[in-house]
Amino acid sequence: MAIFGKLARYQDIGLLVMRIGVGAMMILHGYDKLLGGPDKWQDLGEAMGKLNIHFWPTFWGFMCAFAETFGGLFVMLGLWFRPFCILLFFNFIVATAQHYEGIASIPKASHAIELMCTFFALIFIGPGVYSVDKG
């Protein structure tokens, strides 16, 4: 057990590694969506219909692409960390609603659920000391 106590001093390094890894994947996940333009944004934004929000699908689709691309960058940097984690949390609530069609569809929705939980937890944890915001 003593070894785990000694590893606790490296938790900020672990958080940095997590921020860089998850942030980089978010950039890759959102970049094509951002470059897809209004047609792609409209398709993405129609997912809001699962939450009974049927207006401005192009705006919501753009916000999805923006949140994933720039959210990933700012999560990596630890700059405006919590506001972007909130955006990404809501982004993955919508993604979960889009993919979830009942208990049998959990494998299909699992990635969105995992990221939703990750960003929700990061809102409370903060970016750590190795960040532009510095915790």
**Helix residue spans in the chain (DSSP H):** 2-7, 11-35, 37-45, 57-77, 81-99, 106-125
pLDDT tens-digit readout, 46-92: 999 888 899 999 999 999 999 999 999 999 999 999 999 999 999 99
Residues 106 and 108: their CA atoms lie apart, in Å, by 5
Domain that includes residue 97, residue range: 13-125
**Within a domain: residue 2?**
no
**Within a domain: residue 47?**
yes
**Within a domain: residue 107?**
yes
Tell me which residue has tokens 């691309």: 69
Query: Mean pLDDT in the chain?
Result: 91
* pTM, full prediction: 0.88
| Cα diameter, the chain | 56
What is the model's pLDDT at position 4? 67
Q: Number of folded domains in the chain?
A: 1
Q: How confident is the model at residue 102 (pLDDT cuts 50, 70, 90)?
A: confident
Residue 117 has pLDDT above 70, yes or no: yes
**Within a domain: residue 65?**
yes
Q: Which residue has the higher pLDDT, 98 or 118?
A: 118
Residues 93 and 17: their CA atoms lie apart, in Å, by 24
What is the model's pLDDT at position 113? 92
